[in-house]
Amino acid sequence: MRVLQRIALVLTIIGAINWGLIGFFSFDLVASIFGGQTAGLSRIIYALVGISGLICISLYSNGLVENDTDEPHRFRSRNPNYGTEFASDDNDKIERDR
């Protein structure tokens, strides 16, 4: 994971915690630390959290793509091998049927 993506993930988590505090307790932690919702630094933090959320969307889509490429054999064949010790090879079955 790239450094930018890690920073974005941390900022998104901070934003989620802040929204949880607002929802449950009507307490805006970012505003109380940085001088109110309209303070310049608070607005910068809010903007960074919003941009981080957009970056995290790419993490989500990259995760789906990586899962597809990690196991290319999975769910692609008509007769999947589930990896048990009792599974028989398709070639053995074809030769027995002859």
| Residue appearing with tokens 């307790």 | 25
Amino acid identity of residue 44, one-letter, is: I
For the chain (98 residues), the mean pLDDT of every run of 10, in chain order, is: 86 93 93 90 92 87 60 55 60 58
Question: Quick check: 47 and 39 in contact, CB under 8 A?
Answer: no
Q: Is 79 contained in some domain?
A: no
The pLDDT score that the predictor gives to residue 90 is 58
Q: Is this prediction's pTM over 0.75?
A: no
CA atoms within 13 A on the CB side of 34: 14
| Residue appearing with tokens 């915690």 | 17
Q: Is 29 contained in some domain?
A: yes
CA distances from 46 to 3, 37, 38, 51, 87 (A): 20, 9, 10, 9, 55
The pLDDT score that the predictor gives to residue 88 is 57
**Tally of domains in the chain:** 1
Q: Is 75 contained in some domain?
A: no
Phi, psi torsion values for 77, nearest 5 degrees: -95, 160
Q: Is 89 contained in some domain?
A: no
Instruction: Name, in order, each residue with C-beta under 8 angstroms of 11's C-beta and a sequence gap of 6 or more.
Output: 48, 49, 52
The pLDDT score that the predictor gives to residue 31 is 92
- For residue 55, give the nearest of 18, 94, 2, 91 by alpha carbon: 2
Q: Is 35 contained in some domain?
A: yes
